[in-house]
Structure 1
Amino acid sequence: MNDDSTTIETREEVMFFDTDIGGVVHNIAYLRMIETARTRLAAKLGMKLRDMAQTQVYPVVVRTEIDYRKPATLGDELVISGRLESVERVRFWVAFEVRRLGEETILISCRQSLALVQMPQGKPMRLPEDWMEKYAHLFLKKGKS
């Protein structure tokens, strides 16, 4: 089910600072692009930057899985598609795909697990109660993956 509130699409043009000497995008640049998409997805899920700064509750990446399938190069226009993939009681998973604009070939696929953390204590928190209702179709029962 593709719920508009659980998906995001951003665009990035590959700049010189994204590439190595051969004009190929390096891995940290992909993670920066994914960070931008994830931050915008978080806002759609109710975690806006200003709200996080006030409450000191932040979604923290606890795991990243990334597959580099094909390289992007200098000047490419990239589309980063992201979605909320699954929800548990104390963490959630998001997934991203990077493609060239107008192409279907996936260049990069990425999954990240996040947990909400209250700062400055670093205390993990449960996900908001309304997530169980809003994202019931994504809720993973214990023992399922």
Structure 2
Amino acid sequence: MARHLYRCPLRWADMDMYGVINNVAYLRYLEEARRDLLAPLAIVDDENPLFRGDPVVIRHTIDYKQPLVYRDRPVDVQTWVTQLQAAMVTIDYQVKDGDKLFATASTVIAPFNHDAGRPRRLTAEERALLEKYLEAPA
């Protein structure tokens, strides 16, 4: 089991009038971490591109644990896979700074065939690459 680490910068515009990171900014942080996880998997080969057309998001859940106060240093976003199905992947996250846990989250994505306008099955190659990050849900 391996977790992917993304060092996510905080932006001044992410904070609300109380100086804490607004809840909607977390979705951007999760997206950046997810793309950072999947980018190395999106190996483009004209014959067999992986994650061609980008996966689509089916569901997000976020549990906020404590306020994240704006500062000039990044926050750590750990990502890992908790479920692999034929045409869906569940990715879990922890937004942390050392031992401080700010949020836990989960996203369900599906590889998507944009030409056909519908989800498609994971290829064997995609599945094998994602399995490197597979961990049982807590």
**How has the CA–CA distance of structure 1 residues 14 and 138 changed in structure 2, closer, same or farther, with 3 Å as cutoff?**
closer
Tell me the SS of whatever aligns to 1:40.
helix
Tell me the SS of whatever aligns to 1:29.
helix
TM-score of the superposition, structure 2-length normalised? 0.80
Write the distance in 2 (CA, Å) between the matches of 1:139 and 1:90.
Answer: 18
1:12: how far off? 2.5
> Which residue, out of 33, 42, 48, partners 1:47?
42
Choose 126-135 or 24-33, whichever is displaced more: 126-135
**1:26 alignment counterpart:** 22
Tell me the SS of whatever aligns to 2:125.
helix
Structure 1 segments of 4 or more deviating over 3 A? 48-51, 130-134, 136-140
Q: What aligned pairs does 1:1-16 form with structure 2 within 5 A after superposition?
A: 2-3=1-2, 7-16=3-12
The answer on whether the counterparts of 1:88 and 1:139 sit within 8 Å (CA) in structure 2 is no
Write the distance in 2 (CA, Å) between the matches of 1:30 and 1:22.
Answer: 16
**1:83 alignment counterpart:** 80
Write the distance in 2 (CA, Å) between the matches of 1:92 and 1:80.
Answer: 18
1:43: how far off? 1.7
**2:105 alignment counterpart:** 110
The answer on whether the counterparts of 1:91 and 1:114 sit within 8 Å (CA) in structure 2 is yes
Write the distance in 1 (CA, Å) between the matches of 2:33 and 2:66.
Answer: 20
Give unmatched runs, 5+ long, in structure 2: none
Q: Larger relative CO (CA 8 A, sep 6+): 1 or 2?
A: 2
**1:95 alignment counterpart:** 92
Residues 44-96 of structure 1, C-alpha deviations (whole Å, 9 max, x = no match): 3x225898x9x852211101111011111111531111112220111011011
Give unmatched runs, 5+ long, in structure 1: 141-145
Q: How many residues align?
A: 132
**How has the CA–CA distance of structure 1 residues 65 and 74 changed in structure 2, closer, same or farther, with 3 Å as cutoff?**
same
The answer on whether the counterparts of 2:81 and 2:133 sit within 8 Å (CA) in structure 1 is no
**How has the CA–CA distance of structure 1 residues 109 and 22 changed in structure 2, closer, same or farther, with 3 Å as cutoff?**
same
Write the distance in 2 (CA, Å) between the matches of 1:88 and 1:74.
Answer: 37
1:117: how far off? 0.7
Tell me the SS of whatever aligns to 1:28.
helix
